[in-house]
Chain A
Amino acid sequence: MRHPLFIARTVLVKNGAVEEAMGVLNNIMARDGFFEQYRRTRFYEKPTEMRRRVNYTKCKSIYNEEMSRRLAFLMRVNRPDPYPGCS
């Protein structure tokens, strides 16, 4: 589907703050994966490379999830009983 020009991927510049507007635009596009897709499709990706990339991303996300869970467990505050079993 073609998106309407000057509606899609458009940021208005407020008070001449061009760099800020470009920052917002880039931020949104990076979050949506536009830049990654653009860079990845410059050259052909062989099937083996694609498999390696997908597997690597899988492992990384699993690791990140587990690590963030552990950190959240260690860093938690405001526990109702901070030292369970010691009272």
Chain B
Amino acid sequence: MFRQLLTPVRAVLQNLGAESVGPKLASHCRSSGACDFSATSSAAYHTSPALFLGRRQRKEGNTSFVQKEYVADGEKASILEVRQSKGDDRFPDLHLPTREFNGIMFKDLPIVNIKATLNNTLLCVTDSFGAAYTTRSCGYDGFKNARKGTNVAAQATAFTLGKKLMQRGFRTVRVKVSGLGAGRLAAVRGLTFAGVNVVSLTDYTPISWNPPRPRKQRRL
């Protein structure tokens, strides 16, 4: 199943690999001095900033200069810019479900579900099948009213939960985060402070592009 789903990802990665050949070719071309055709073309149009080689650029060996030619407008806004190379290990790949972390396969790791709402942060630990093991929330840990929704409360709650997890042997977990509350990052941070090894972060916020009609606007 994963293999089928990941084919587009693999295609994108291969394309990335192919694109990275471009600058190499260009630098090779420039070092051998065989790029004169671009000189005439830019002089004709008076638009290209590429051809004036200043003293500084000549000294630097044109390295930054050559790369500049291949950056198009808006290219940096692409997500693919985030990816470093063909084997970027910050994102899941084909072998992730069966890769071992601390001796356990990724698909068998316990899950910490974090629900960070505006008014509270709830943490629920389940095994890989979704059977709940334990639940904690900021309200349970003694924070009341508006304080429940703060990042301090979320971090403290996650810390106590993490300590408990460490005692029970849940040392390596994957984290599912949902909601945009203040506890979104703080809860994960609290887990790590307690010594829990967080392997991956997954966003699980329910977002729909054709939702049912929401409730009416608040009137302030």
- CB distance B46 to A27 under 8 Å? no
Q: Which of B12-20, B141-149, B210-218 contacts A (4 or more CB under 8 A)?
A: B210-218
Q: Once bound together, how far apart are the Cα atoms of A10 and B198, in whole Å?
A: 13
A4 touching B208 in the complex, CB below 8 Å, given contacts A22-B188, A44-B213: no
Would A6 and B189 be within 8 Å (CB), given that A12-B199, A27-B82 are in contact? no
Q: How far is the CB of B49 from chain A (nearest CB, A)?
A: 5
Residues of B within 8 A of A19 (CB): 185, 189
A1-26 interface code vs B (CB 8 A; 1 in, 0 out): 00011110111111010110110110
Tell me which of A10, A21, A39 has the highest count of chain B C-beta atoms within 10 A of its own C-beta: A10
Taking the complex as formed, is B207 at the interface, i.e. its CB lies under 8 A from any CB of chain A? yes
Q: Is B60 an interface residue (CB 8 A)?
A: no
In the complex, chain B residues whose CB is within 8 Å of the CB of A31: 77, 79
Q: Which residues of B contact A41 (CB under 8 A)?
A: 207-208, 211, 214
Is the CB–CB distance between A35 and B200 below 8 Å? no
Interface residues on A, range: 35 or more
A42, B214: Cβ atoms closer than 8 Å: yes
Return chain B residues, CB-CB under 8 Å to A14: 89-90
Q: In the complex, are the beta carbons of B198 and A13 less than 8 A apart? A: yes
Mask: chain B, 72-97; 1 = CB below 8 Å from A; 0 = not: 00000101001000000111100011
Q: Which residues from A are CB-within-8-Å of B202?
A: 5-6, 9-10
Q: Which chain A residue shows the least CB distance to B111?
A: A6
A12 to B96, CA, bound (A): 10
Q: Are A22 and B43 in contact (CB under 8 A)?
A: no
Interface size class of chain B, counting residues whose CB lies under 8 Å from the partner chain? 35 or more
* B115 in the interface (beta carbon within 8 A): no
A36 to B185, CA, bound (A): 18
Query: Contacts A14-B90, A24-B90 hold; do A4 and B5 have CB atoms under 8 A apart?
Result: yes
Assembled-state Cα–Cα distance A36/B9 (Å): 25
Is B214 a contact partner of A43 (Cβ separation < 8 A)? yes
Interface readout for B180-194 with A: 1 if CB under 8 Å, 0 if not?
A: 100011001100100
Write out the residue numbers on chain B whose beta carbons fall within 8 Å of the beta carbon of A24: 82, 90
- Given A7-B96, A14-B89, verify A44-B217 contact (CB < 8 Å): yes
The answer to whether A6 and B174 touch (CB under 8 A), given A11-B90, A16-B192, A19-B185, is yes
- 30 pairs, A vs B, C-beta closer than 8 Å: A4-B1, A5-B204, A6-B200, A6-B202, A7-B96, A10-B202, A11-B91, A12-B90, A12-B92, A13-B199, A13-B200, A16-B197, A18-B192, A19-B185, A22-B185, A24-B90, A25-B201, A29-B203, A34-B203, A35-B180, A38-B207, A41-B208, A44-B213, A44-B214, A78-B49, A78-B52, A79-B46, A79-B49, A80-B42, A80-B52
